[in-house]
Each structure stands twice: as structure tokens, then as C-alpha cells.
Amino acid sequence: MLISDIKSRPVYERLSLDGSGRRHLVLSDAPRPLAEVIDGTEDAAAPLGYWIVAATSAVDGQPRIEPAPGNAAELEERAFRAVPHLLDRLSHRLAQETVGFRLYAVGEEGFIWDVARLAREAGLEGAECRTAHAGSLRRKVFCVHCKTVTGDVTTSIVVCAGCGAHLVVRDHFSRFHSAFMGVQADAEAPGELPPVEEVFP
């Protein structure tokens, strides 16, 4: 039932620093070495920040400045307890940013598209916010019937957290909702459901 070649399905490429940017901020939903996340940072002359979700209470989101080799700008690193903590700080940062800012996000699709949504709401153009997928393939699913978003979906069929309908998880992706579409699996034959498969590990 999945349609893998549907045009709305995001296609990702490896991130690289945009040389025209005056300030850069890289976000990751898990601790990853910066060099594994994005190319071009080793000799970046523009200010560069790297924010990660550390998933531990032992961090406070305060900046830590790392010296840079050669002519590269200093690197400001911050570690956050959880994704909502990082996204909250990002909203404040975006409200203060001006022309020349470039944003990059790497992680699971729910995370990177939440970042993209915040960037869009702050007025960034598509080329000013770049995303790349890393980690689990689990999805956020938007129920087309009750408009509820169900998170952390790994199976081909999911029970909607809002209306309880059994939804087929489609490959149609909504950038507006930062989620994949889910349609009722047994709409034509109530109670007759296809087998549930683990397809998004």
C-alpha cells in the first residue's frame, strides 16, 4: 500500500556549509561529531554554532566556545536536554536573526521538519534552511480524518492517537504538518485490516 516514488517524499543529500552565509547554525537531534554531520566547517570564516540534543539532564544549553584551527571562526557548541528545549531556544534565536543566517538540521524526520517549520515561520527561504536525515526511519503521521499527529510510528498501520482509526501510513509527506499522511485502512470494509508490518525501524 505504500507508494515509494510519490513526489512529495523528501529526498536528502549530505549537508555542506553555504559559503554565502554570514552566520551558520547546525542542529542535531543526537550527539554526533560535527565533521560527520556537515562538510566545509574546518575552514569556515563565518561564525558557526553547533547545537545538539544530549538527552541527559547533565546539560544546560549554555554556550561553550571551542578554538578553531587556522583561519576558521570559533565554534559555539550547546547541548540541550531534549528536543523541545532546543526548539524553544531556536525560536528565540530565529526571532533575532537577520539576513545572511543559514540553518542546517540533521536527525530523524520529525525533528528536521519541526526545525524547517520554525525556520519558515521566521521568514527563512527554503535555501536558507537545509535538512538531512539520520537515525531511525520512524515517522510522524497526520490523520487526514481528525487532523491529529501521531508520533514515533514504525509500522505500516497505526492507530490514530486522536480518533482511534487504523491508518495506512502513506509516503505522501506534508511539509506544512511535518508529517506523513495516514488514511483509514478499513474505510471500505470496516474491520478488515491488512497485516501490520514493521517498515520504519
Confidence band of 3 (pLDDT split at 50, 70, 90): very low
pLDDT 10s digits, 18-67: 989 999 999 999 999 999 999 998 878 889 999 999 978 888 778 888 77
Residue 194 belongs to a domain:
no
Counting every residue written for the chain, the total comes to 201
- Whole-model pTM: value is 0.85
Tell whether 52 and 143 lie within a shared domain.
no
Tell whether 65 and 161 lie within a shared domain.
no
Tell whether 92 and 177 lie within a shared domain.
no
Q: What is the pLDDT of residue 156?
A: 95
Tell whether 109 and 152 lie within a shared domain.
no
Q: How many domains does the chain have?
A: 2
**Which of 39-48, 124-133, 191-200 is least confident?**
39-48
Domain that holds residue 116: 15-133
Q: What is the pLDDT of residue 1?
A: 41
Task: For 20-71, give the DSSP string.
Answer: T-SEEEEEESS---HHHHEES-TT--S-EEEEEE--STT-----EEE--STT
